[in-house]
Structure 1
Amino acid sequence: MKNKETVPEANTKSSSTKDVGAVVNAIQILRHLAHAEAPEGVAAIARATGISPSSAFNILRTLHNEQLASFDNETKTYQLGLGLSELAVSFIGRSYADLIQPELERLSLNHNILVALWQVTDDAHIRVVARAAPPIAHVNVALGTRLPELVGAAGRCIAGLRQLPADELRRRLSRVRWENPPSFEQFQADAAEALARGWSMDRDHLYRGVSMVASAVTDHDRQPRFVISAIGISAQHRQEELEGIGTNLHDTARFVGRALFPQGGGRKA
């Protein structure tokens, strides 16, 4: 894992863009309808989304015309339309790793750091199922790499979510090999902090000279299903920079979790 490789530099800068308000509002309305328990009228949708009734009406009418929302003329209410299946059909058959890959690429380019997606397995391990490498010298982690689930920054996130009794946590940690192991009390405190803020850091503990930041993707039961981690050479990344990466990883992990494991929200018959 500590092998380093150099790749040609590339221009990673992109021009700043400004969101289109009408598009943002349309997406907000679609997300609201996706979680609504029953079809809703314009006034209710406007209140829930904070969009003005006139704008909500125009957006909903357009979504209906494009079959992304359906309108019940009798009850004057809207719900998601069949046209959404046309957009979603390209996702069918694609793995979670394929769907998350663009987010890994974005994070890697924005922070010039290797970003890996770890799948949490049923036998208390994590396995790399996708990765994105930066255009600079970096730590290399191969696809298929498999480690005990409590290693490094990922392990702190998982431990926090597992809420293991102290004796069980101590037993599992005894199986993890560290170059510079933290004390049990420090790991336990780090796991609690990871649970509170949504991300964790390992700086020079699992491997000397390597820093890791991670955030877990959780399902609807708040159990870890994936972990997104950024792994870099410690000398290349300042502490405050790694903390910023942690915040961005957490934002991405929450977005991915909402997309892959939506919370409840089925419609009533």
Structure 2
Amino acid sequence: MSGPVRSLSQGFTILRLLAVREALTLSDICRETGLSPSSGLNLLRTLVAEGAVDRDTGGKRYRLAAGWGDLGVLQANAVSRFAARVRPLLARFAAAHDATAGLWQVQAGERLSLIALGESGAETRIHMVEGQRQPLGGGAAGRALAAAEALGRDDLAARFARVRWRTPLGFTTWLGQVAEAVQRGYAVDDGYIHAGVCSVGVVVPAAPVRFCLSATIFAGSRDAAALDELGRALSALARRPELRLEPAG
């Protein structure tokens, strides 16, 4: 019995990638899929010719053609596989750092959804559930997103206004926390969205920004140095090759 056709599988890998990370260059696609530039270009030319992929007028970026992106099945499949691959990493991180670790996806309607979870196994820990949602501007993940997206002040104000803060927080103070996230490479929410809970958040490097990682602990359980160590460790996790949406091979 013959096996799968490799070029066809590689073509679907590109389609799944474009389903969740639109408007990518040839270099972006080859880096994320592990394809050589010549193979990637040949596959993209075929997908464009078949009407599955569109190339912009400048010829630099590719995106799913109308209709393909609307099906949803490619995106759901890619995200499901991505979350399954990340869960063991989150579990190991949670155990090593005594924190609840999560993978968040940007959803329509200005929301973040928890799509993968890792818990430390400690008797007393922060309880979270896959599928739970929060406003896009809330929590450490929301600040990390705001830092990465370089939004204008009006857009940031609108995002901030959609959050119901448990601890009073002014917009200017929140902007300062976003600026700190730019400098440090990770964001912190210390009890503002959930009383007694502190979270650290980072963006998973991607274009466009769609995924974040969080590490959640009890407020006051770490000093500044330990919190910085947690943030740096989470940043390192976000850069691991396993957190590319479509791995090489």
Q: TM-score of the superposition, structure 2-length normalised?
A: 0.64
**Partners of 2:148 and 2:162 in 1: how far apart?**
19
Task: Please state if 1:129 is matched with 2:115.
Answer: yes
Give the length in aligned residue pairs. Answer: 179
> Is the CA contact 1:199–1:247 (under 8 Å) kept in the aligned structure 2?
yes
Deviations 1:164-192 (A, max 9, x none): 21122112211101111332122112212
Task: Specify the alignment match of 2:94 in structure 1.
Answer: 108
What residue number does 1:260 align with?
Answer: 245
Moved more, 175-184 or 249-258: 249-258
1:195 and 2:182 aligned: yes
Deviation at 1:227, TM superposition (A): 1.0
One-letter amino acid of the counterpart of residue 144, structure 2: C
Rounded Cα–Cα distance in structure 2 between residues aligned with 1:108 and 1:123: 29
Q: 1:196 to 1:258 in 2, by over 3 A?
A: farther
Corresponding residue number in structure 1 for 2:166: 179
8 A contact 2:146–2:178 mirrored in 1: yes
Q: Residues 181, 113 of structure 1: CA spacing in aligned structure 2 closer, same or farther, 3 A cutoff?
A: same
1:122-150 deviations in whole A, cap 9, x for unaligned? Answer: 32211111111112211111111011111
SS of residue paired to 1:180: coil
**Residue identity in the other structure for 1:237:** R
Q: Using a 3 Å threshold, how does the CA distance of structure 1 residues 165 and 209 change in structure 2: closer, same or farther?
A: same
SS at match of 1:218: coil
Could you tell me which residue of structure 2 aligns to residue 237 of structure 1?
A: 222
The residue matched to 1:206 in structure 2 has which SS? coil
> Following TM superposition, by how much is the alpha carbon of 1:248 offset from its aligned partner in structure 2, in angstroms?
0.8
Q: Distance in 1 between matches of 2:228 and 2:99?
A: 13
Confirm whether residue 152 of structure 1 aligns to residue 139 of structure 2: yes
Q: What does residue 166 of structure 1 align with? A: 153
Query: Match for residue 119 of structure 1?
Result: 105
The 8 Å contact of residues 112 and 134 in structure 2, kept in 1 or not, is answered as: yes
User: Partners of 1:233 and 1:102 in 2: how far apart?
Assistant: 23
- What is the distance in 1 between the residues matched to 2:134 and 2:177? 19
Shift of 1:116: 1.1
Q: Does 1:218 align with 2:208?
A: no
Match of 2:81 in 1: 95
- SS at the partner of 1:127? strand
Secondary structure of 1:141's counterpart equals coil
Distance in 2, Cα, partners of 1:183 & 1:133: 32
CA distance in 2, matches of 1:163, 1:183: 20
SS at structure 2 position matched to 1:178: coil
The answer to whether the 8 Å contact 2:86/2:243 transfers is: no
Larger Rg: 1
Conservation of the 8 A alpha-carbon contact between 1:120 and 1:225: yes
Q: Residue 141 of structure 1: which of 119, 128, 131 is its match?
A: 128
Partner of 2:56: none
The answer (yes or no) to whether the contact 2:166–2:195 under 8 Å persists in 1 is yes
Task: Write the letter of the residue equivalent to 1:131.
Answer: L
Distance 1:200 1:257, change over 3 A: farther
Task: Name the amino acid aligned to 1:135.
Answer: G
Counterpart of 1:199, as a letter, is Y
Amino acid in the other structure paired with 1:240: A
